[in-house]
Amino acid sequence: MNQPELTLFSTSAQKAGFRLERMEVFNWGAFHQTVYVMPLQGENALLCGANGAGKTTLVDALITLLTPNPERFYNQSAGFEDRKRIRRTEDYVLGVYGRSVAGKERLRGTEPGEGTYTVLLGVFSNKDYNQYYTLAHVYWFKNDQVQKRYYTAPVDLNIAEHFQFSGDIREFNSGIAKKYQARNYDTFTEYALDFIPKIGMRSPERSNSQAGRTKPLSLLGKTAGIKVLGNLDGFIRENMLDETDVETYFEQLKKEYADIAETQQSLDKATFQQQMLLPLVQHHTAWLTGSDELRRLDLAQRALSPWFAGQHVGLLETEVEKKQGRLGLLNEELETLDKELDALRQEDKDLEYQIRQNEAGQRLDQLKREREDLEKRRENQRHEARRYAALATSLGLEPNPDNALFFEQKKHLDRKAQDLEAQKSEQNLLRDELVGQRKELKQTIATLQLELASLRRRRNNLPVDLVEARTRICQAENIPESELPFVGELTRVKEDERLHWQYALEKLLTPFSLHLLVPPQYLPKVVQRVRDADLGVLLRFIEADDNAGESLNNDISQETAGNKLEVQPQSPFANWLRNELNRRYPHHCTSNTATYKKHTQALTPEGLYKNGKQHQKDDRKNQRTQFVLGWDNEEKLRQTEQLLRDAENELLLLEERFSPIETRIQQLDQKLADLARLHDFEHFNSINFADTELRIGAIIAQAEQLGQSSTQLKTLQTRHQQVQQAVKNAQIKRDSTLQQQTKTTGEIESRLTELRFKRNDAATLDDHSLAWRELQPLVSDLDELDLDSIGKIQQHLTNKLNSQTSQLRDQQSKIEKDLLLLMSQFKNPKKDILEAFPTWSDDTYALPEQPSIEHIGQYTDLLERIQNDQLPALRERYETRAGNDIGNAMQVFQQQLTEQLADHHENIANINRSLRTLPYSADTYLQIVCESNTRKGRIGEFYHLLKDWDYDRAAFRLATAPEQQKILRETVQRIGQLIQRLDKDPDWRREVTDIRNWLTFRTQQFYSRDDTPKPGTLLDSTGALSGGEQAKLTYTVLAAALTYQFNISADSRNAKSFRFIMIDEAFSKLDPENSTYLLDLLSSLNFQMLLITPNSNVKLSQDRMSHLIFVKKEDEMPPRSSVFVYSVMELAKIEAGKKARRG
């Protein structure tokens, strides 16, 4: 059976959709210096001509006009076997036609003076909507580099009228835009994204790549030269489905995860900070308890001496009363003894006279006088001998020397004196040093006592001399002191700023804080008084308005010095002073050196401040007792009392050191005095009482011989001796009584002196004072006191309190050391903590670099903020983020993938509906079979992670709060693992989130009669088919892809579609049957076909094509190509003429 002859002109195409109305080229390849036009009028055409005539040049012009640069494969009909024939856009613009030794042979140059440029233009029309859309490219050379510009216009333009390019691209763009609403673009992508939706092509909404957004154009380019598909799965995936775009949702998911990760880190950081601060607070509590106990012990110690003094007073009063009674008895006894002695002494005189009247008595009297003289000498010698012995003993010499040793010892006395003087000089130096320190301490104590007394009489913190000077001025001029305030007593540092800025602001405001504010009405009086009087102080005063209006500068930064101060609101100077503080102290307060450098006026917490280029820091007085700001002096009063106690304690310690030195000096002085006295002993006879005793013995013997010769004399002598003994006894008794009287009188005086001191000491204790309340439990169970035991008991109790204080101070020192270590570890944590929490320093930068117990409030405040504010807020935020936000974001991400998967299934279904209308064979039609690919490999791994991130909601509701927190953390962890996996490997992410990869595609024939699959027709490639079958399947699948990308509906009636297609050497591998199938297929879809074929394959038939475009190369050098366009009617006339001539 003979096959019917294939004819190309068998039908008249319908006009649905956008079609190529006209194609024009100027200076493109061999089409030189003339505008060549192909007026297709939206109808089918056959482009033919001899090999090398220029068909491919025109096809490449269309490809260049409509496809992106990376997708262009010029001269596709040459295949990959002849790569030498592949051309570049630059070659077409230059008109390169060959090569020689000199280089490329070309029709056109690149110099501006040569006036060379190239234009490609295509006009597409939609007759149903009477729409025209022009696409154009302009190419020219600049500095030997090809330049290009892309144009779109919603009107019908042509090269001859509208694209006359003079070389000034800006002028050209401006003109064509104004006249024809033309847009121009630098890049093909911008140009393509403009025209793709406007000429009926599909515009992928989800695609995130240039290739995805220009996919219809890529498919159009492939259609021109495709012969066999090969891998059906890859072709369907790439050309029939859009590349998915989940990057936006992934970035949102990452953002949500980053936010919850940041929240989790902040929560972990706050929890860890709480764990670090709790021991610190516990240590501080222990330290405060210890400080309170030390205060109690201090109060008890302060009350101890006055209380014992009070007990002493009672005991001393009783003792003095007893002594005074004893003294009265002794006085009476002395009076009786004096009378008795007087009578005995008179009788002794009478007896002595009677004895002297006797001759023997006279000699005896002489001997008696001699004996008395010798006895006196002996007593003197004995006294001197005892004195010499005592002095010699104290100096380490022999106390009872003989005559020779006496003079030997006397020779060494001067050298001994020099040694003692040297020792005394050394001790005097030590004493003088301590005397100076004691003097300074006493002056300090006196000053503090005066300051304390002054502070108790007033409320401000000002120096006492300035306060007294003001008092004298006010008293003299009869001005109330309240109307002449100092700046310092109207200004104070805000409570929440004192910890960091009190010290610095005190320094900054000196001396302004010591200025006296004088209202205008008192200024003359004050000036005159200051002139007339010697106030003895440095007084500064300033005229101040006590009726000033409200401050106008209330918007200054919170970080300025003026804004860290507050003014006594009740003062009439408040407004004036607020303005003055803002004006004088705009210093920016900062602990950051860089910020300090940046500001013209700045202040640091250490008291360093600057005004312009002048910097100042005063460290001469840094005690808080020197602070003057504030209208309440309770803190300064407390500090001054503490300083006074410290100074008094220091003085006691100094006295303890002073006493041994003073004793040693006294000892040395005594030895030097002893040495001087010893030096006074000139002769040995002054201490030689032994010889004198011998002489006294001789006189006694002589008197005894004379006494035995007279009986009367003996009687008188006997009585005289009895009276003398009686006088002696009475005198001894009187001396003893007198001694007791003197002793008792001394004891009374001593007790009375002690009583006065004790009463003064006891008066310092108030029975209602804190000190007494602290001491009372310690003395309530003491044994009964007496004068003998009270001192020991007081000393015992003092030692006990000192011991407790010492132990407690040691304990406090250890606690403080541990506390400072904890503060330091929190302020400057270890490296691993900083690595785990990079923002740690944001919470601790304001904490002082050198921790101090004074700064503990900042740490406790931070803990309070963490416990009461941060942790609850962070927990709530984390639970919200973990329970809702991250889950919602994950669900949105997952939903996008699910929706895109549904879109792909829907798109395949739409394509299959189109294929259902196209017979593939006499009894079958072709379908695309779509299957899931989510169970294995990389896609399976992702799909598993995507499905397993969520938690069991029912179990969550039944779980406890800690269990719920654990579930949320584990959920966030799983989401984080997925996000990190996607983020770490972009190639993996692009693969697994491209939902097209979740599916595999094959084709299969189905019977038209019952829609059942035809056995043996399920294919994933065309490799097993014959050449004709491969081409048939290729074009069927390709047609399906085109219907999708060009918006062609199943019934082919969609007017908002693109209908132009070009196929180069379309029938080179097709038999007549399959060629007919291809033409029928494309015709059924109402495509405007431009078929390219060599002359040998031209078989004219009026039922397929409407135009014939014939390309011819002229026989001249350099070569030129020409285009001839014939309609079907013209070709019919030509054919009829040929037949007539042959007939």
More confident residue, 733 or 360: 733
Among 528-532, 568-572, 1099-1103, the least confident range: 1099-1103
Higher-scoring residue by pLDDT: 405, 568: 568
Note the pLDDT tens digit of each residue in 161-213.
999 888 888 999 999 999 999 999 999 999 999 999 999 898 776 565 666 67
Residue 1058 DSSP class: B
pLDDT: which is higher, 403 or 521: 521
**Banded model confidence at residue 709, pLDDT cuts 50, 70, 90:** low
pLDDT bin (cut points 50, 70, 90) of residue 355 is confident
Residue 290 has pLDDT above 50, yes or no: yes
Given a cut of 80, whether residue 1139 has pLDDT beyond it is: yes
pLDDT cut 90: percent of the chain above it: 18
Give the tens place of pLDDT for each residue, 154-171: 999 999 999 988 888 899
CA 873, CA 683: separation in Å to the nearest integer? Answer: 105
pLDDT of residue 762: 82
pLDDT tens per residue, range 995-1022? 888 889 899 999 999 999 999 899 888 7
Mean pLDDT score of the chain, rounded to an integer?
83
Domain range summary for the chain, segments of one domain joined by +: 1-228+1058-1143, 465-628
* pLDDT at 565 > cutoff 80: yes
**Burial class of residue 192, CB neighbours in 10 A (0-12, 13-18, 19+):** buried
Q: Which of 346-355, 443-452, 934-943 has the lowest mean pLDDT?
A: 346-355
Q: How many residues does the chain have?
A: 1143
Taking residues 813-822, report their average pLDDT. Answer: 90
Report residue 42: phi and psi, to 5°: 75, 15
The 10s digit of each residue's pLDDT in 299-329 is 888 888 888 888 888 888 888 888 888 888 8
- Strands 565-567 vs 117-126: parallel, antiparallel or unpaired: unpaired
Mapped onto helix, strand or coil, the DSSP state of residue 1116 is: coil
1143 pLDDT more than 70:
no
For the domain spanning 1-228+1058-1143, the CATH number is 3.40.50.300
Q: Looking at 102-111, 659-668, 794-803, which range is the least confident one?
A: 102-111
Tokens found for residue 824: 């330091």
Q: Average the pLDDT over 6-21 and give the result.
A: 60
* Phi-psi label, residue 1013: left if phi above 0, alpha if psi -120 to 50, beta otherwise: beta
Q: Are 44 and 1088 in contact (CB under 8 A)?
A: yes
Contact 1031, 1022 (CB under 8 A): no
User: What single letter denotes the amino acid at residue 183?
Assistant: R
Which tokens belong to 862? 């931070």
Task: Give the pair of three-digit tokens for residue 404.
Answer: 């020779």
Helix 961-984 and helix 986-993: axis angle, to 10°? Answer: 100
pTM of the model: 0.52
Contacts of 324 (CB under 8 A, 6+ apart): 748
Task: Give the 3-state secondary structure of residue 151.
Answer: strand
Q: Rounded to an integer, what distance in angstroms lies between the CA atom of residue 348 and that of residue 343?
A: 9
The per-residue pLDDT for range 217-250, each reduced to its tens digit, is: 888 887 776 656 667 778 887 777 777 777 888 8
